[in-house]
């Protein structure tokens, strides 16, 4: 999966509110994530079957008022969220976060690719 240089390297990470996160990437792209949506995309083994990739938790399973309790860097490559429902086992690599960018441009690109 070749991508533009810096496309998966964040230049800024900003928690806009308890429900919204912004990442500005080194290629200039900006992503704004809604917390509850991200929670429904959690890549951990309880939320997604490790072997089949089948999702066990989907965004529709997540209450709309779910909040970030804590956001931490994992080494140099990922973010870990602790949510107001207590869940905290998901490690979201920057590669994954870039793929999850909800902006219209990325969604359009994603639907072509998959």
Q: Which residues bind another protein (CB under 8 A)?
A: 9-15, 71-79, 91, 93-95
Residue 70: beta bridge partners? 82
Provide the strand spans (E) within 18-90. 20-25, 30-34, 68-74, 78-83
Residues contacting residue 82 through CB under 8 Å, at least 6 positions apart: 68, 69, 70, 71, 72, 88
With binding defined as CB under 5 A, does residue 103 bind Zn ion?
yes
CB of 48 to Zn ion, least distance (A): 7
State the binding string over 5-44 for Zn ion (x if CB under 5 A, else -). -------------------------------------x-x
Distance, C-alpha 68 to centroid of its chain: 12
Q: Which does 90 bind (CB under 5 to 8 A by kind): Zn ion, another protein, none?
A: Zn ion
Binding residues (CB under 5 A) for Zn ion: these are 42, 44, 47, 90, 101, 103, 106
């Amino acid at each position: 999966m070749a991508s533009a240089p810096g496309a998966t390297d964040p230049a800024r990470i900003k928690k806009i509110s308890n429900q919204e996160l912004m990442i500005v990437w080194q290629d200039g792209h900006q992503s704004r994530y809604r917390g509850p949506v991200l929670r429904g995309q959690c890549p951990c083994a309880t939320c997604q079957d490790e072997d089949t990739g089948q999702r066990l938790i989907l965004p529709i399973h997540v209450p709309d008022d779910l909040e970030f309790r804590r956001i931490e860097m994992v080494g140099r490559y990922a973010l870990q969220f602790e949510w107001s429902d207590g869940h905290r086992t998901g490690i979201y690599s920057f590669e994954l976060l870039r793929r999850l960018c909800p902006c219209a441009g990325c969604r359009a690109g994603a639907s072509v690719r998959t």
